[in-house]
Chains A and B, each alone.
Chain A
Amino acid sequence: MENVLGIINLINEKQHLKELTAHRNVASVPFGGRYRLIDFTMSNFINADVSKVAVFPKEKYLSVMDHLGSGKEWNLDRRSGGLFILPPIHPDETVTGDMKQFHDHLSFFERAAADTVIISPGCHVCKLDFNEVLAYHKKHKADITVVYKDYVGELIEKPIYHTCSVDSDEDITDISFYTIPRPGDHVCLETFVISKSLLVNLIKSCVASGEYDFLKDAVKANLHRFTVKGYNFTGDMPFIHSIESFHSSNMNFLNPSVIRSFFGDTWDVYTKIKHEAPTKYSGSSKVTNSLIANGCVIEGTVENSILFRGVKVKKGAIIRNSIIMQKGEIEEGAIVDNTITDKEVKITSEKTVIGLKQPTVIKKADII
């Protein structure tokens, strides 16, 4: 899709993953044993042959820049197109909204050869086929297409989602902000298709009148003026809105059919390459129902868990129902249950870490 510009909008990230986003943005949160959340959106663009992708980070974006690098793992180290990272120009100013940051980089939009822009956040774990969304957008001659998904799952604690009302013609008739969706409510995935010229005009006019929020000031405010269509995404996608749902949506991958449907032959999820050796299982290892990345050395017991790259599990250590992120070390005799350990955490020998009701989160590089 030469004529499409991909935008990964990290400006509106919510603070629902607590400790996991203490030093990184939501898009860089590790997921699924070897990925970061942004990999799924990046891969959606790559699988749709979008060859120019710009990432708009707001804050704590060191990890995302380090992770994406030149974009070569996503084949975005191109002569034409490629990967752009466009942070706020005046980082000290209070960030007023995504339209402000788009406006900071207005010339980037104006110069782009693309005639269509797809905007998506960096936090959804899904295989969303942008070619289909684009075809829908064209078929309905929409000015703006809003992708939504019907909510499934338990009652959420914090109102972090925006929901939309859709009529029988699939027109978006209203948008409500920061709601607690009930099952079946249309949760706006903050993913949009819009023509570049319309987007540029909206950026200019919104900013000129002191309005800075794309969804509120450009979409909702113009529902009566434009044809705004709702695309119902029916594919698999966990709603990650808390540490608990983050934990359970990771655990959902402990299932061969989910793994197959997510990482099938025709849809790759790309991530940064680390050159880790294959994982080594010693004579004393006992591993069941677990998802394990490369570079691990396992001498202990691992059950119903996800191990990221380079995790060491020493003899007699037991890991259950847990997520151990990159380079974690669980020493002799330690027990870890219902816990998420961030990168480079060490659980020293004979220590026990158990999440009772909710998963316990151990902060990056902590030694317990």
Chain B
Amino acid sequence: MGAKKWIAMLLAGGQGSRLGELTIGLAKPAVPFGGKYRIIDFPLSNCTHSGIDTVGVLTQYQPLILNDYVGNGKAWDLDLDVGGVSVLPPYQGKEGGEWYKGTANAVYQNIHYIDNYDPEHVLILSGDHIYKMDYSKMLDYHVEKNAEATIAVIQVPWQEASRFGIMNTNEEDKITQFDEKPKFPKSNLASMGVYLFNWKKLRQYLINDEKDADSSNDFGSNIIPKMLEDRKKLYAYRFNDYWKDVGTVESLWQAHMDLLEEKPKFQLDNQDWKIFARNANHPPQYISANAEVSQSLINEGCMIHGNIEHSVLSYNVHVGYGSTIKDSVIMPNVTIGENVHIERSIIASNCVIEDGAVVGNSAVTSDITLIGENQTILNPNKKKITLN
């Protein structure tokens, strides 16, 4: 098999515990997004559009739905004989086996997978971000700078910089220092969790890192600082488009609200950069004579009899007469009865909201209400019927 120019390793094993009940039954990259997608569709579609034909998806936490979803990769045109998409959970070898201890260890454990393709460069991606990025431009930059590693960065507001991994750079964007969540940031260039390495270099660092008993085997905390310490050539690649971390309930909700602006900063319907997804097969959406829909995104299979205002509805959501959904995100297969009021909420897949129920708090200062998967929300005013 011929050597590949580059391949991608997508870190999809995280639990995403800050997403609370959303990730009880599935890993963060499998969380539904944008009325039709799952978070992992964004980096996978980026790979397809960037000409990457080999992607290893590293899974660990609740991998069942994710594995099934990725399947043979045909939704992303990644069903290839050589390369394509491979789901890579931790495995047992002759010397035993263990869970992925950290992001770097996860890649370390799959050195053989990468060696198979003998790539010149390896792109490390994570499954927590919503963005459209042409990684091939980053590769051009990486090659032009003759870098040993290139880290994609985005300018964040200074007041938020201490929440991110911050790159301090010289005037040529060569990285001089990496500050993980600095109290007093010296720069506002935040790491996007997109790393491009020369494979031979990275391979050596992964092996050395594994030998270091004190290491937490993490790219951000160990590999990058170590390379900087060794005065390797690391460059920051500036990305100036929309990029959103959707690791919290609040940010996940906000990213959905971003899609609803009159001229959104992030568009899902760009014909030159379609977001590919596994398509469930559903009839067109039906908006009834009693419905009112404004400033919303609605997917196929929905049947709407109520008022939908500034919300995102995924496929197969049924909304009964007299119900109002406002500033909310409704995930797949949710059934909403009549005269329900939902505001500032995320309702996860397969929930049932019964007639007359109220969900969410309209105060803009209040937290976003999250209803986890498969729950039934009753009308609190309805008398409970006891069956003997």
Q: Given A256-B303, A278-B312, do A288 and B282 touch, yes or no (CB 8 Å)?
A: no
Q: In this assembly, does B82 line the interface, its C-beta being within 8 Å of a C-beta of chain A? A: no
* B residues in contact with A2, CB < 8 Å: none
Q: Which of A269, A284, A292 contacts B287 (CB 8 A)?
A: A292
- The number of residues on chain B lying at the interface, defined by a beta carbon within 8 Å of a beta carbon of chain A, is 38
**Residues of chain A from 261 to 293 with CB closer than 8 A to chain B in the complex:** 262-263, 268-271, 273, 275-293
CA distance A262 to B282 in the complex (A): 11
A300 interfacial by beta-carbon distance below 8 Å: no
Residues of B within 8 A of A259 (CB): 283, 286, 303
Residue of B with least CB distance to A258: B286
A34 within 8 Å of B by Cβ? yes
Is A333 in the interface zone, CB < 8 Å from B? no
By the criterion CB–CB under 8 Å, are A283 and B294 in contact?
Answer: yes
Number of interface residues of A (CB under 8 A): 38
Residues B283 and A285 in contact, CB atoms below 8 Å apart: no
A255–B128 CA distance with the chains assembled, in angstroms: 40
B296 touching A291 by the CB < 8 A rule? no
The distance in angstroms between the C-alpha atoms of A329 and B114, with both chains bound, is 47
Among B36, B289, B303, B308, contact of A277 (Cβ-Cβ < 8 Å): B36
Q: Is the CB of A278 within 8 A of B298?
A: yes
Contact partners of A293 in chain B: CB under 8 A: 284-285, 300
With A256-B303, A283-B262 in contact, is A289–B287 under 8 Å at CB?
A: yes
Do the beta carbons of A277 and B281 come within 8 Å of each other? no
| CB neighbours of A289 from chain B (8 A) | 287-289
- Tell me if B297 and A279 are in contact (CB < 8 A): yes
CB atoms of A277 and B275 under 8 A apart: yes
Bound: A283/B191 CA distance, A: 35
Q: Is B268 an interface residue (CB 8 A)?
A: yes
Residues of chain B lying within 8 A (CB to CB) of residue A15: none
Interface residue SS majority, chain B: loop
- Interchain CB contact under 8 A, B284 and A32: yes
B269 touches A292 (CB 8 A): no
Contact of B365 with A by CB under 8 A: no
Contact assessment for A280 and B297 in the assembled complex, using a CB-CB cutoff below 8 Å = yes
Return B332 CB to nearest CB of chain A, in Å: 12
Chain B residues 240 to 266 lying within 8 A of chain A, measured CB to CB, are 262
Contacts of A291 in B (CB 8 A): 283-286
Distance in Å: Cβ of A303 to nearest Cβ of chain B: 9
Q: Is B194 an interface residue (CB 8 A)?
A: no
Q: When A and B form their complex, what is the total count of cross-chain residue pairs whose Cβ atoms lie within 8 Å?
A: 108
Is the Cβ of A275 less than 8 Å from the Cβ of B295? Answer: no
Interchain CA distance A32-B284 in the complex, whole Å: 8
- B274-318: CB near A (< 8 Å → 1, else 0) gives 111101011111111111111111111001000010001110000
Residues of A within 8 A of B298 (CB): 278-279, 281, 292
Closest to A72 in B: B74
Q: Is B34 part of the contact surface with A, judged by Cβ < 8 Å? A: yes
CB pair B283–A34 under 8 Å, yes or no, is yes
Cβ-based interface call for A295 (8 A): yes
A306 to B293, CA, bound (A): 16
Most B-side CB within 10 Å, residue of A270, A275, A294, A306: A294
A287 engages B286 (CB within 8 Å): no
Could you say which residues of chain B place their CB within 8 Å of the CB of A88? Answer: none
Residues of A with C-beta under 8 A to B277: 275
22 contacts between A and B (CB under 8 A): A33-B283, A34-B300, A254-B286, A259-B286, A268-B281, A271-B281, A275-B279, A276-B274, A277-B268, A277-B275, A278-B268, A278-B313, A278-B314, A280-B297, A284-B294, A287-B287, A287-B293, A288-B288, A290-B287, A291-B284, A291-B285, A297-B269
Q: Identify 6 new A-B residue pairs, CB closer than 8 A, beyond the known A281-B296, A290-B287.
A: A256-B286, A277-B267, A288-B290, A292-B298, A293-B300, A307-B284
| Those 8 A-B pairs whose CB atoms lie nearest each other, nearest first | A33-B284, A277-B268, A278-B35, A277-B269, A263-B283, A289-B289, A278-B299, A293-B284
Please report B residues at the A interface, Cβ cutoff 8 Å: 34-36, 74, 262, 267-269, 274-277, 279, 281-300, 303, 308, 312-314
